[in-house]
Amino acid sequence: MSDVERRPPVTVKDLSREAEPLSPLDLDRLLPLPPPYDKVPPESLWKEMSDERKAQVDASLDGISALNLKRPADPAEEERLVEALKAGLGKLLSADDNWGFLQPLALTLDHCTHCQTCADACPIFEASGRAEIYRPTYRADVLRRLVARYGPGANLLKRALAGSLELNFTTLARLAELAHRCTLCRRCTQACPIGVDNGLITHELRKLFSQELGISAQEAHGSGSVLQLSVGSSTGMTPAILKDNVEFIDDEMSEKVGYAVKTPWDVEGADVLLMHNAGEILAWPENPGAFAVIMQAAGISWTLSSELLAYDAINYGLWYDDVQFSRVALKHAEVARKLKVKKIVIGECGHAHKALTVVADRLLGGDLAVPRESFAPFLASIVESGALKLDPSRNDFPVTLHDPCNLARALGIVEPPRRILRKIAPRFREMTPHGVENFCCGGGSGFAIMSGNNFESFRNLVSGRAKLKQVLDAFAGELGPEVPKYVCTPCSNCKGQFRDLFRAYGVWDTSRILYGGLVELIVNAMADVKPGFIEWEFH
């Protein structure tokens, strides 16, 4: 694709135009990376879909398929899909079907002046070399045009003023894919002088496709929320397997720290119900292990739950489906209520924070209103209480902090992780920008778990590129392999994205940059555990 033919820039109207693909990634225009990563040829990270696969699924937007969307078998099926989309437009704007987001959505649809103040704030648009289809207002304007044409109160004047757009299967398929080229980081919303929320448009489009047409990313739905609701976790872990795994982690931790570590289960009336993203248990067991070490050392009354769903804090519905979201959130709260815990502390999982603490807040009334708290202030209070003996010299290596969007921008949790890092990481430095202005890791809104077809190419080349540059810039002057460095990444999905990103660009081999959680850094600095908790091995 580096020799992609220069084509006229795409407009909204073009979305329905036959072209295969409409706007391929232009690998020559991607955001430049600092040396030596400027030598990594983007072509080496681009995976072209085979012709056979392209014949099976639609990749007509940009040569990428996140959704495995099959083309309709006949005109009747196309008609059915198009009619379903039209019906969904009405439901999005209905006070019955979308009461939870109607007001923000209506305000956003009604007020964009297309000033493009949001455009430069979008790391995807910038990293792509300003490809029009990734412009924050592009997908929003597609929706506006469809609403003006087919939505409630559609009329000729609205159509004329909004601009034209034909609705066919091509439009539908590309729009569904477009809703999966935004990580919902909402930097664009922060920048908007009017308060228009293009991130919300992505959210609402995904809902329309999932809730009306049954179209969503398999990783988020079938092997995500559906699996979680049926088995208990999107990892597929049943309670028995979970307990086995955590027992193994306890043994491993005991060996690493030099004394017995034991995770308590299902303790009724505990002060804290700790809820992890269950993916940590399988992919980064040192994270829940480090939590157990800290809780035990600080003398906290805490427990994990082996009840279905409560051992997996994830709620993928947050990204694409209000119904799935509500189902999972209610189950989470129900378990906390039954256990009679004083509060839920959410582990290092950004979207679980936003789901259970913010978006579900008003749904969780009565005795389901068990208080929810982030790990960050909770740990900061432990660290600042002096309950842990800390030796910051054990963390004498460069550290930077990645602010997960769902912690910083969605919850306003900025200072607590920094208060901890200032106490335990003498060589801590900030990225630019950081805090609520951070860049998304590129794996937000489910991207980190999505790798089907060639979607990982998009993550590595485009959605994660600005973040990679930020990390490299934070360690400028020390990018060689001789100095080990640590990106503190207190979010499971962000870690998954960093893992893939670093692997793709050879960051570990070239620069010895490791990613990991905040709790691992804390335990690594604990004076009364065996030194070397953090193992400098890439995984």
Partner 1 sequence: MGVVEVVTVLLLLGFVLGCLRKAVRYATMPMHLRWELYPVAHEKERAAYGGSYFEEVDWWTKPRQVSRLGEVETIAREVLTLEQVRTHNRPLWLPSLAFHYGLYLLFALGAALLAGAVPGVRSLPLLGRLGGGRALAAWAGAGLALATVGCLALLARRTLNAELRRASTPADFFHLGLLLVVFAASWASLLGADPRLQLAAAYVKGMVTFQPVERPPGALAAAVLLVGLFLAYLPFSHMTHFFGKYFTWHSVRWDDVPNLSGRFDARVGKLLARPVSWSAPHIGGDGKKTWAQVATEPVPKKRAS
Min dist. Cβ of residue 446 to partner 1 (A): 17
Q: What are phi and psi of 367, to 5 degrees?
A: -80, 0
Which residues have CB under 8 Å from 388's CB, separation 6+? 294, 297, 298, 382, 522, 526
Nearest distance from C-beta of residue 504 to partner 1, angstroms = 29
Q: Which is nearer to partner 1, 365 or 386 (CB)?
A: 365
Q: How far is the CB of 194 from partner 1 (least distance, A)?
A: 5
Of 210 and 511, which has the nearer Cβ to partner 1? 210
Least distance from partner 1 to the Cβ atom of residue 461, Å: 22
Closest to partner 1 by CB, 2 vs 113, is: 113
> Distance between CA 86 and CA 388 in Å, rounded?
58
The encoded tokens of residue 216 equal 């969503």
Quick one: 211 or 460, whose CB is closer to partner 1? Answer: 211
Strands of 198-337, DSSP E: 272-275, 302-303
DSSP 477: T
What lies within 8 Å, CB to CB, of 196 at 6+ separation is: 107, 108, 111, 112, 118, 140, 189
Nearer to partner 1, 47 or 327 (CB): 327
**Residue number, 249 or 360, with CB nearest to partner 1:** 360
Name residues whose C-beta falls within 8 Å of residue 379's C-beta, 6 or more positions apart in sequence: 294, 416, 420, 518, 519, 522
Nearest distance from C-beta of residue 403 to partner 1, angstroms: 10
Please report how close the Cβ of residue 159 comes to partner 1 at its closest, in angstroms: 10
Query: In the complex with partner 1, which residue's Cβ is closer, 419 or 427?
Result: 419
**Shortest distance (Å) from residue 38 CB to partner 1:** 25
Tell me the Ramachandran region of residue 434: left when phi exceeds 0, alpha when psi lies from -120 to 50, beta otherwise.
beta
CA distance 224 to 321: 12
Asked if 321 and 225 touch (Cβ cutoff 8 Å), the reply is yes
Q: Which is nearer to partner 1, 13 or 503 (CB)?
A: 13
Q: Least separation, in Å, of the C-beta of 280 and partner 1?
A: 21
With 0-12 / 13-18 / 19 or more C-beta atoms within 10 angstroms meaning exposed / middle / buried, residue 195 is exposed
The answer to whether 214 and 172 have CB atoms below 8 angstroms apart is: no
The closest of 241, 410, 238, 387 to 318, measured between CA atoms, is 410
Q: How far is the CB of 154 from partner 1 (least distance, A)?
A: 14
Name the residue nearer to partner 1 (CB basis): 216 or 305.
216
Minimum Å gap between C-beta 435 and partner 1 is: 6
Q: Pick between residue 135 and residue 512 the one whose CB is nearest to partner 1.
A: 135
As measured in angstroms, the least distance from the Cβ of 52 to partner 1 is 20
Place of tokens 């790391």: 123
Q: How far is the CB of 35 from partner 1 (least distance, A)?
A: 29
Residues 6+ away with beta carbon under 8 Å from 160: none
Counting every residue written for the chain, the total comes to 539
Full 3-state SS string of 204-239: HHHHHHHHHHCCCCCCCHHHHHHHHHHHCCCCCCCH
Q: Six-digit token pair at 313?
A: 């804090």
- Packing angle, helices 198-213 and 75-92, rounded to 10: 130
Minimum Å gap between C-beta 502 and partner 1 is: 27
List phi, psi (to 5°) of 514: -110, 145
**Distance set, CA 53 to CA 57, 179, 313 (Å):** 6, 21, 35
CB of 57 or CB of 257, closer to partner 1: 57
Our CB check for partner 1 shows the closer of 115 and 260 to be 115
Let me know the angle formed at the C-alpha of 159 by 156 and 161, rounded to the nearest 5 degrees. Answer: 110
- Whose Cβ is closer to partner 1: residue 47's or residue 343's? 343
What SS3 class is residue 103?
Answer: helix
User: Strand 485-488's sheet: what is its strand order?
Assistant: 428-429, 399-401, 485-488, 513-516
